[in-house]
Structure formats: structure tokens, C-alpha cells
Amino acid sequence: MPEVKQPRRRLAPTGEILSLPECDVTNPGDLAAWYGNFGYDEKFRKVRLANARELIRARAALVEATISEARIDDLARQEKTYLDYLAYNLRGRQIYEAELRNSRNGI
């Protein structure tokens, strides 16, 4: 009888304007690569923030408004796509931290 593959449990994809890779939360290696030291999460957070800045610049260009770079940075950190990514990342980090605690406690 052929082996039936179980679906991989994944965090919900962000699926907005910029598509980023997903983390397989059932794989300890993926979790460590994303949320461990020098993990991907911080790099992709910066990519998402840069994307949010570009969205702000594009909206300002449509209405021919002049906005300072400091204001663009402030508005980008309030952009829905950036905040959604932070929430997405927090769920993954919580899973990673729980797995790390369990492995250290021998669970």
C-alpha cells in the first residue's frame, strides 16, 4: 500500500502585493532558519518595509504630494501589509520559541 503523505502545516500566506516564501512550522530546520540566529524573518521584514515605503511613495505621486523620507518611513510602518507581516511573523516566532523550550526541556 503506498504511503499517504500528510499535508505540511504552514502559516497562512501573506498573499498581498509582495509574495514572500512561507515557513513550514512542522519542520524544526525551517523554524530555525526563519527564526533562529541570523534568520530569514528579519531580512524579509526589511523587504516588506521597503515595499510599504514604495506603496506610500506611489500614493503620494498619484496625488502629486510632497512627503519627506521621514514621513514616508513613519507611514510605511503603519501600512497594513507591513503590520500583517509582523503579525504573521509573530505567530511563527511563537511556535519556534515553544519548540525550542520543549526541546531544551526534553519534551
Q: Give the residue among 99, 104, 83, 105 at the shortest CA–CA distance from 28.
A: 99
Mean pLDDT of 75-80: 94
CA distances from 42 to 12, 33, 57, 89, 107 (A): 18, 11, 23, 9, 28
Q: Would you state the cell numbers that stand for residue 96, as one nine-digit string? A: 519556534
Q: What is the distance, to the nearest Å, from the Cα of residue 10 to the centroid of all Cα atoms in its chain? A: 13
Q: Which amino acid is at 24?
A: D
5: confidence class by pLDDT, cuts 50, 70, 90:
low
Mean pLDDT score across all residues of the chain: 82
- For the chain, give every domain's residue range: 42-104
When mean pLDDT is compared across 10-19, 49-58, 68-77, the lowest value belongs to 10-19
